[in-house]
Amino acid sequence: MRNALVIAGREIAAYFVQPIAYVVMTVFLLLGGWFFFALLRRFDLVQQMYLAMQNPAALQRMNLNQMVIEPLLHNMAIVLVILVPAITMRSFAEEKRAGTYELLLTAPVRTGEVVAGKFIAAAVLILVMVALASIFPLILVLFGNPEIGVMASGYLGLAFLGLAFVAVGLFTSSVTQNQIIAAISCFGALLLLYVISWPAETGGGSFSQLLRYLSLPEHFATMVRGLISTKDIIYFLSVIAVALFLTQRSVESVRWR
Amino acid sequence: MIEVKNLTKMYGNFVAVNNVSFKAQKGQILGFLGPNGAGKTTTMRIISGYMPATSGTVLVDDLDIFTQSLEARRRIGYLPENPPLYNEMRVEAYLRFAGRLRGLARGELEPALEHVIDVCGLKEVSSRICGQLSKGYRQRVGLAGAIIHDPQVLILDEPTIGLDPRQIRDIRALIRELGGQRTIVLSTHILPEVSQICDKVVIINEGHVVLEEALDALPAGTSLEDVFLSAIARERGHEDIEAEQELEEVSAGRSSAQ
């Protein structure tokens, strides 16, 4: 564990020196802010429309959570599909290219600890990003009355989603020494996880059920709606576990080639 | 002490290292010679635990590098051909990282850091960024990183490559200093380097050992260059003779068929 933290510490410092961390955070928050602004404008517009129509029943039904936070979270998830490959593409690929891989693999450190260190570093970055993005619901709490529990559940979902993405990204980076290949294949894998249930939308067979279970947005959407169920948590944890296990195998396999 | 026993490494069907065995006693500096592509780097990567052999073993202080890998790796300092520096890090930060990665505790870290900065002459660059260092400094920072945990065994892959004459002299002096109690394996193709700093020489060609000899056991008056060239030429000779024989057989077969 100590070794993993030593590696994570170096890695986090590198994110900020490079300065990948600042760029990624800025892009994430700028886009998030833009979505938030657009959604609020729409909310406002609809509200004024109902007011003008003097329709109190419709006004009653208007819901900040559904109309602003839910679409905002889904949009930010899509932004993560693009940003996470940029965060993780370096992690192993760059070490191989620069030759520092030899330092890591000849140090008295287990490959599992190397993978854990890299994961912790990228996870910290993602969690900081999600935490900073909680400024948006905070604004809503200050000026409106949204349901805090539902928002918290949605943000928890976004955090889990980010961690799962990072684990996949580490794996794609571990199989190549070319950062572009790492990023593109990570992007492809994440997008596939996103759309994997498309052929199964209407079908009811066991194959369709399987595809729907594998589909990432399905689990994410449940949490965004405010439902935290063990099923979804287990799904995210298993994606992380499987991806990190494959990464560890792939790093170890360098030794056997 | 390092003991390499019957090491073989295959990349697919290509035999990079073929049944290599040699031994370096405690305190010995072993020069590992061979033409380019002879399998030096591969052998050193195996000794350092970076990758396993296809067959054979390496013992480092009687610890098997494959089965007792972590214990064995703790005793090794390894400097690859390209110093493994993180270009965005400052020299001091890099050396601290290298030390902690090798298991130095917080209390041991600062004295060790000061020591290697002093020994490797890095005082004036200690706060510079690794990516901006000259080749000579990169080599020295790499070496400092490899010895920061005071390893009993040092594996140096062409430590003087790409340096100017003065830097070469400094690094050689440093390596000689580091010898003494440590076991050092150093690869190079600069022959005078071996005669100057090594106690023992192992010559490898096309994946196998052609000579393993203590330097003072070499016949007096012969230069290492002659030894090296004749050892390699003997090999070539064999092949040439075999090839000629094959040719003769072929032509003989043809003439008998006519």
pLDDT on residue B188: 85
Torsion of Cα atoms, B48 then B35 then B5 then A101, to 10°: 20
User: What average pLDDT does this structure show over A53-59?
Assistant: 83
If pLDDT is split at 50, 70 and 90, which confidence band does B242 have?
low
Of A17, A99, A109, the CB nearest to B82: A99
Closest CA to B82 of A164, A100, A136: A100
Superfamily of domain B1-75+152-216: P-loop containing nucleotide triphosphate hydrolases (3.40.50.300)
Q: What is the pLDDT of residues B90-141, one digit of tens each?
A: 999 999 999 999 988 888 999 999 999 988 888 899 899 999 998 888 988 9
CB contact under 8 A, A102 and B71: no
CB contact under 8 A, A14 and B88: yes
Whether the per-residue pLDDT at B257 is higher than 60: the answer is no
Q: A16 to chain B nearest CA, in Å?
A: 10
CB contact under 8 A, A6 and B101: yes
What residue spans define the domains of chain A? 2-254
If pLDDT is split at 50, 70 and 90, which confidence band does B258 have?
very low
Q: What is the pLDDT of residues B13-70, one digit of tens each?
A: 888 888 889 988 888 899 988 888 888 889 999 999 888 888 898 999 889 888 888 8
Work out the mean pLDDT of chain A and round it to a whole number. Answer: 90
Q: Which residues of B touch A102 (CB under 8 A)?
A: 45, 48, 50, 78, 80, 84
Work out the mean pLDDT of chain B and round it to a whole number. Answer: 84
pLDDT on residue B244: 58
Whether the per-residue pLDDT at A180 is higher than 90: the answer is yes
Q: What is the pLDDT of residues B202-236, one digit of tens each?
A: 988 888 888 888 877 777 667 777 777 777 777 66
If pLDDT is split at 50, 70 and 90, which confidence band does B170 have?
confident
pLDDT on residue B169: 86
Q: How many residues are listed for chain A in this entry?
A: 257
pLDDT on residue A205: 81
User: What average pLDDT does this structure show over A31-46?
Assistant: 92
pLDDT on residue A4: 93
Whether the per-residue pLDDT at B253 is higher than 80: the answer is no
SS (H, E, C) chain B: CEEEEEEEEEECCEEEEEEEEEEECCCCEEEEECCCCCCHHHHHHHHCCCCCCCEEEEEECCEECCCCHHHHHHCEEEECCCCCCCCCCEHHHHHHHHHHHCCCCHHHHHHHHHHHHHHCCCHHHCCCEHHHCCHHHHHHHHHHHHHCCCCCEEEEECCCCCCCHHHHHHHHHHHHHHCCCCEEEEEECCHHHHHHHCCEEEEEECCEEEEEEEHHHCCCCCCHHHHHHHHHHHHHHHHHHHHHHHHHHHHHHHHHHC
Q: B45 to chain A nearest CA, in Å?
A: 9
Question: Up-side HSE of residue B77: CA atoms within 13 Å toward CB?
Answer: 26
Of B83, B85, B102, the CB nearest to A107: B102
Whether the per-residue pLDDT at A84 is higher than 70: the answer is yes
Higher pLDDT, A137 or B189: A137
What residue spans define the domains of chain B? 1-75+152-216, 84-151
Q: Which residues of B touch A14 (CB under 8 A)?
A: 86, 88-89
Higher pLDDT, B189 or A4: A4
Question: Up-side HSE of residue A80: CA atoms within 13 Å toward CB?
Answer: 32
pLDDT on residue A215: 87
Do the beta carbons of residue B58 and residue B46 sit within 8 Å?
Answer: yes
Residue A10, chain B, CB below 8 Å: the answer is yes
Chain B's closest residue to A97, CA to CA, is B84
- Token digits for B110? 């600062």
Mutate to test the interface with A, among B11, B46, B101, B127 (most CBs of A within 10 A): B101
Q: Which residues of A touch B85 (CB under 8 A)?
A: 98, 100
For chain A, what percent of residues have pLDDT higher than 90? 65
Residue B90, chain A, CB below 8 Å: the answer is no
Q: What is the pLDDT of residues A230-253, one digit of tens each?
A: 999 999 999 999 999 999 999 988
CB contact under 8 A, A102 and B84: yes
Whether the per-residue pLDDT at B241 is higher than 60: the answer is no
Q: Does this model's pTM top 0.95?
A: no
Residue B80, chain A, CB below 8 Å: the answer is yes
If pLDDT is split at 50, 70 and 90, which confidence band does B161 have?
confident
Bridge-partner residues for B8, per DSSP?
Answer: B55
ipTM score for this prediction: 0.86
Question: For B206, phi and psi rounded to 5 degrees?
Answer: 45, 40
Q: Which residues of A touch B93 (CB under 8 A)?
A: 13
